[in-house]
Amino acid sequence: MTLADVTRPAVLAAVAEFDRLGREQFLKVTGFGRARSYYLDYEGRLYDSKPVIGYAHGVSTETTSWRPADLRGEDKTVAQRLEALGFTVAFLPNPDWTRDEIILACDLVEANGWHQLDANDERVKSLSDLLQSPTIHRGRRNPDFRNPAGVALKTYNIVADSSNGNQLDKLVREEFRANPQEMRALAGRIRELFREGMGGESGTDLDVDEASGREGGVVLRAHLRRERDPKLRRKKLADAKRRGVSIVCEVCGFDFERVYGDRGRDYIECHHRTPLHVTGETETRLRDLALICSNCHRMAHRGNPWLTVEALKTLVVGRAAL
């Protein structure tokens, strides 16, 4: 008896039984665990592929349904059989946890005395609900995406001090232990932005993708969005001109007009002198901004910790003296 014995009507019978019992009971009856990546996609609903095939095999052959031991390591083969029968199979593995998400999970662990949390804990359930928001991970997700069990497991991984653990988990944990107050504030800001619908996947942004500072992706995006506000930039430029300040980079002295002529006149970028993860959400004043070139702006955001304008200028001057 092979997968070739499974028929389309038998798969539809398995789907009907899945719907009748509900997912949890169907998995319990068939003895299978939850799917990790491959799902039968039928009429807009997702079904764990191996349990469906196992049940369908019993229907097709009028014998006992296959158990997990009969389909060990057959995920892709099962998917291929379903497709051969005219079904659609969705490949939906869980995406890796982002730095923002790990910061929120670590915030729970830190508040819990550096102990893992249970899936039934209301704090875990609340974080699960937040992370499942479509504004964070857009697109279709599998049925177990960031469920309470997955969030609870992440809290365990953060607590576990294993050399084989996730390096990003370790990094965030070390940052919490070294700077608890700052990291709690950052977690609060990330949580606030997530609730406002500013998710972590709002398109490719090299300034965000290449940055590794403490802000966290969603906070850095919000920060850069404010820095790129044309009205804010115009006000800063007007203020500089009124005070007779040259429109050149405050770090390296680069003058866009001198290099590019008319095309570069009045071109410069605005940068917050103090990271928003330190100041929190405040009303930006012109004196809080620095006018710096594109390269220095990126170098300021790159790395951990984020360099101040003064520290970056010292670095540039020091390098020029070599």
Q: What is the 3-state secondary structure (H, E, C) of 171-237?
A: HHHHHHHHCHHHHHHHHHHHHHHHHCCCCCCCCCCHHHHCCCCCCCHHHHHHHHHHHCCHHHHHHHH
**Whole-angstrom Cα Rg for the chain:** 27
Average pLDDT over residues 279-288: 68
Rounded to the nearest 5°, which phi and psi values hold at 292?
-135, 160
Is residue 267 over pLDDT 50?
yes
pLDDT at 63 over 80: yes
Complete DSSP assignment for 29-58 = HHT----SSEEEEETTEEEEHHHHHHHHHH
User: Are the CB atoms for 130 and 194 separated by under 8 Å?
Assistant: yes
Model confidence at 310, pLDDT cuts 50, 70, 90, reads very high
More confident: 203 or 272: 272
pLDDT for the residue numbered 277: 52
- Cα–Cα distance measured from residue 235 to residue 227, given in angstroms and rounded to the nearest whole number: 12
Q: In the predicted model, is pLDDT for residue 203 greater than 80?
A: no
Q: Which residue has the higher pLDDT, 305 or 117?
A: 117
Of 41-45, 102-106, 281-285, the poorest mean pLDDT is in: 281-285
Q: For position 302, what pLDDT does the model report? A: 77
Residue 21 has pLDDT above 60, yes or no: yes
* 3-state secondary structure (DSSP) of residue 130: helix
Q: What tokens were used for 162?
A: 């294993």
Its pTM stands at 0.71
Q: Which residue has the higher pLDDT, 156 or 285?
A: 156
Q: Which of 151-165, 220-234, 252-266 has the highest mean pLDDT?
A: 252-266
Instruction: Give the pLDDT confidence score for residue 230 in this predicted structure.
Output: 83
Question: What is the torsion angle, in degrees rounded to the nearest 10, for the CA atoms of residue 281, residue 284, residue 287 and residue 292?
Answer: 90
Please answer whether residues 36 and 74 qualify as being in contact, where contact means their C-beta atoms are separated by less than 8 angstroms: no
Average pLDDT over the chain, rounded to whole? Answer: 86
Residues above pLDDT 90, as percent of the chain: 59
Query: Quick one: average pLDDT of 235-258?
Result: 93
pLDDT classification of 202: cutoffs 50, 70, 90? very low
What pLDDT, on the 0 to 100 scale, is given for residue 11? 97
> What is residue 282's predicted lDDT score, i.e. its pLDDT?
57
Q: Which of 124, 100, 322, 88 is nearest to 199 (CA)?
A: 100
